[in-house]
A and B are shown apart, each in its own frame.
Chain A
Amino acid sequence: MTDRTTRPADHPTLVLPGSPVSRRRFLTVLGGTGLGLVACTNGSGSAGRAPAPSPRPVAIPLAIADAGPPPALAAPEDRVLVIVELSGGNDGLSTVVPANDDEYRRLRGDLALDPDEVHWLDDDVGLHPRLERLARHGVATVEGVGSDRPDLSHFAMEERWMRGDVRGTTAARDSVLARLTAAVSADGRPFGAVSVSGTTHHLSASPYAVALSDPDALWFLRPDLEWPEAAGLRGAWAAAGSDRAGDVLLRRSAAQLNDLAARLSSGGVVDRDWEDPLVADSGPLGPGLALAADLIEAEVGVRVIHASLGGFDTHDGHAWAHDDLMHQLDLGIGGFLDRLDERGLAESVVVATTSEFGRRLRANSSGGLDHGTASTMLVAGAIGSARHGEPSSLTSLDADDNLIATTNFDRYLASLGQEWMGVDADWLLPEAAEPLGLWA
């Protein structure tokens, strides 16, 4: 393994063409694909113009500027973490259900799920009836996860989860996933993470990540695209513009896409199969997770993947809305786990859910559940089926009638980062957080 302690000094900033960079560093930054790079960097005006001067050197601060040297890895380098963000605030009690609990049945009334339909994990809780595939594969649950100083704003809690900032007390900081990716990215690779669901900000600021909106658009990156202009476009877009900060970022985006194209091509991933059931019939998570499976199999250096599923903000008509969401979750993650099994990859991949908060215990007049606090996370793949954390009390509530978290969510992130990926939690998170022993 390379000596990681030297890495930050090696590239404290990204430097774009025009500055005296070494060829190796230059290829690292721009992806090393060679796609159109000659045309771009020489800027040779073949229409009789003098060569255009390259843009002046521009330094982009790295996202992990404040992080210090990434620690040595304490886990095998083939491990992959797939985060599935349940956006809007997923109701933990409807996911891992204490279906026979009298207090649960009383508080939830019409929304209480049928004990005969849940997939029992033990005598106390069962998985939601629609989580059939997950029940078959087996999952670990992490219960009572939230913050000991909760906030009921989506956006405040999303931000806290993103930074691992459990009480919202830390100033602007890189996302946990960006740090994790920086720590596990192999040398010489400009990214080790892919977001397959677009609008996330977990990874969008990281120079080590590519936030794709939608795998459907990947066809544009095909090296053999039957559209000769594409190569010209892909060459030009990584070279255009001035030294404005935004222009620099846009060139970086273009260079990342060119790099992705090369890696997809070298891994044989570029041909998307639209008939693939995981792409075509497995709900909104399916296409992104199908791409994730291909990226993992291709061994192109991607070790952190982020996907998201929206719609969990069930203020109205929780019963049917959440039922459908659980089905979508099951189709997506279940199909992904099937795919990993088929390809013999199941031992090296963990899928873990996150969600900004859980939901209120009692329903409102719309048959919905307003914003809550603690929730339950699911971890599947290379992990034993077991229950972790501790369920929140249904009788002792906080001042807003919400569940009291038993397990701060930074401990959950510490487990995923340190226990699974081998990156020191103290480096990943703003405050000390003890891992939960999910793989103990």
Chain B
Amino acid sequence: MTLLRRRIPTEDRTDDPWSRAARLHARTSMAVAPERVDELAERSWSDAVALVLGADDPDPAVPEVSDSGDGWETTAAWWLRRMADPDGGLGEYMTWFWHELLPVETWKVDLAPLLADYLRTLRVHALGTYPELLRAVVTGGAMIRYLDADGSVASNPNENLARELMELFTVGRGHYTEDDVKAGARALAGWHVEYETAEVVFDEVDAFVAPLIFRGVQARWDLDAVLDHLVADPSTAVRISSRLHRHLTGVDPVDPAELGRWWAGTGLSIRPLLERILTTVDLGDPALGRARSGVEWWAVTAGALGIDADDLWQVDQTRQRPFGPPNVAGWPTGAHWIGPGPLLGRASVVQNLDLDRADLDGLTAGDVSVAIDAIGRRLCVPAWSDATRAAMTTAATNPGFGDDHGARTRLLIRLALLSPEVALP
């Protein structure tokens, strides 16, 4: 299948078009495909970015599920298969980003159809606008249950949704008061999830219909008005655009306020923000980079090797899975994923990989250095560092392998998957 069309240079050269393209691809796609990198490498940076941004919206046809005990697993498995498809591109990448920012969790959202709905919502709006995405998520049954707005009555409201909506999803700390939390909780009361039908209903009897003061403004506040107000606040644009900037590049924007202002001018439209970040930051710079999270690493692994992506037991060992955040702030980011705990988890996954069923075509022939290059290409590694190449070479020249190139390649793949080059694209 995969013919070795080029040698990956040993030295990390930022001016190498393929390496630059590989970095762009790795930071805009869950799974990776060398053929895609080839396409990007033939273009100028701006043309390559345009190609990435030209991605279709993610497929919204999340399968219907019944309210059975394992319904969430069906949905998660479907999603993981999409993520491991290298053609998923930017749509899958952004769907996962929004799940990390606006997470829900299976234990509290104990109705599988709500999770399927939630995933459909993320996918429909993944490349749309943030206000529409946020409204759809927050008015969905999954988030209403996850943040305890289900059944909240205005006379004695539940504060959870109001607080986290402001602290995590919009304006952020320092831009609201405890009085705003209390008033917001009243404004957001009146919503229920019908357990039998999984339908979201609004009951005016439980809502607060009189004027109240929220963020210094006296008005008849309801969910729509609260959301409109919060997404229009400049600090929402700054927070969310900075978060996306870190997700793509691993670093904060040089001028977060300026990026936020600019983004607000687009109506918080997601594709323009992606284009702006991708064309103002040199993603080809190897000094930049962000550790892949557990699921991102799994999508690369399963996608590149053609193994079953929906093995939830294996996914769980990466210390991350769909619908499984530790709390409403989502998973830890950054250096957490290169810490010893997640590394040990990935080692466990790697050992348990069924590589006998993997697509090893083109990865076994030739001497060790040829195999190492072929594996690097398959995983879209811009370039192996000298130390990684040396470590892989040493391990693979174990005399026990003899002529068993399959066994040698399986070890090399495991080493590659645990390497810094794959952990930190």
Contact = CB atoms under 8 A, between A and B. Distances in A.
Contacts of A221: 344
Given A47-B369, A240-B387, A241-B421, A39 B395 contact: yes
B344 A217 contact: yes
Interface in B138-173: 147-148, 150-153, 155-160, 163, 167, 173
Contacts of B317: 217
A257 B385 CA distance: 22
Contact of A242 (B12, B158, B327): B12
B347 interface: yes
Interface in A205-226: 205, 210-214, 216-221
Contacts, number: 232
A243 B235 CA distance: 36
Contacts of B286: 242, 244
Given A211-B339, A211-B340, A365-B152, A43 B163 contact: no
B394 A236 contact: yes
A244 B317 CA distance: 26
Interface string B339-363: 1111111011011000000000000
Contacts of A363: 156
A61 interface: no
B270 to A, nearest CB: 25
A113 interface: no
B402 interface: no
A149 interface: no
Interface in B360-406: 367-369, 385-395, 397-398, 400
A155 B351 CA distance: 35
A315 B331 contact: no
Contacts of A399: 178
Nearest to B398: A232
Contacts of B400: 228
Interface residues of B, number: 71
B334 to A, nearest CB: 9
A198 interface: yes
B327 A364 contact: no
A96 B404 CA distance: 64
Nearest to A260: B340
A362 B386 CA distance: 62
Contacts of A43: 386-387, 390-391, 394
Contact of B348 (A52, A211, A217): A217
Contacts of B54: none
B343 A257 contact: yes
A371 B160 CA distance: 8
A236 B392 contact: yes
A153 B338 CA distance: 27
B300 to A, nearest CB: 16
A258 B336 CA distance: 18
A96 to B, nearest CB: 24
Contacts of B157: 364-365
Contacts of A298: none
Given A43-B391, A220-B348, A257-B344, A155 B151 contact: no
Interface string A244-281: 10110111011011001000000000000000000000
B148 A316 contact: yes
Contacts of A228: 400
B424 A257 contact: no
Interface string A24-55: 00000000000000011001111101011111
B423 A153 contact: no
A88 B391 contact: no
Contacts of B287: 244
A419 interface: no
A232 to B, nearest CB: 4
A357 to B, nearest CB: 13
Nearest to A236: B391
A167 interface: no
A98 interface: no
B415 interface: yes
Contacts of A137: none
B414 A229 contact: yes
A40 to B, nearest CB: 6
B281 interface: no
A240 B391 contact: yes
A47 B415 contact: no
Contacts of B424: 244, 246-247, 250
A374 to B, nearest CB: 16
Contacts of B386: 43, 52-53, 55, 242
Contacts of A39: 391, 394-395
A233 B385 contact: no
B156 A244 contact: no
A51 to B, nearest CB: 7
A52 B173 contact: no
Interface of A: 39-40, 43-47, 49, 51-55, 87-88, 152-156, 195, 198-199, 201, 204-205, 210-214, 216-221, 227-230, 232-233, 235-237, 239-242, 244, 246-247, 249-251, 253-254, 256-257, 260, 310, 313, 315-316, 362-366, 368, 370-371, 399-400
Given A211-B341, A218-B344, 7 more contacts: A229-B395, A232-B398, A235-B395, A236-B392, A237-B347, A365-B151, A365-B152
25 contacts: A43-B386, A44-B390, A204-B335, A204-B336, A211-B339, A214-B341, A214-B345, A220-B344, A237-B391, A237-B418, A239-B390, A240-B419, A240-B421, A242-B385, A242-B386, A244-B289, A250-B338, A250-B343, A253-B343, A257-B340, A257-B343, A313-B160, A315-B148, A315-B160, A365-B155
Nearest first, the 4 closest Cβ-Cβ pairs linking A and B are: A241-B420, A213-B341, A52-B390, A365-B153
